[in-house]
């Protein structure tokens, strides 16, 4: 079981790297088909990874950012 989790984490890491590279070159997220070709994986796996990438992105965007506290004003 640990091997499967490790393999999935490795694929997810590689998928994130491919997605970032794709964003740099094409200014849009990577498609499942492009990811499938780049990572030499099956369609179902590629779709699952793309879904995970999108879910992670939306979760980061939906998380409120901590605003720094304003600097104190001198008396």
Q: Would you list the DSSP string of 24-71? A: HHHSSPPPHHHHHHHHT--HHHHHHHHHHHHHHHHHHHHSPPPPPPPP
pTM: 0.72
Q: Which helix (H) or strand (E) holds 7?
A: helix 2-26
Helix (H, G, I), strand (E, B) or coil at 2: helix
Write down the pLDDT at residue 73.
67
The predicted pLDDT at position 41 comes to 97
User: In terms of pLDDT, which residue wins out, 47 or 57?
Assistant: 47
pLDDT of residue 52: 94
């Amino acid at each position: 079981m640990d091997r499967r989790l490790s393999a999935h984490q490795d694929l997810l890491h590689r998928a994130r790297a491919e997605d970032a590279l794709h964003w740099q070159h094409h200014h849009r997220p990577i498609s499942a088909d492009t990811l499938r070709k780049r990572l030499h994986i099956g369609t179902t796996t590629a779709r699952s990874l793309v879904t995970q990438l999108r879910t992670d992105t939306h979760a980061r965007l939906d998380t409120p950012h901590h605003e720094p506290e304003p600097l104190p004003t001198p008396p």
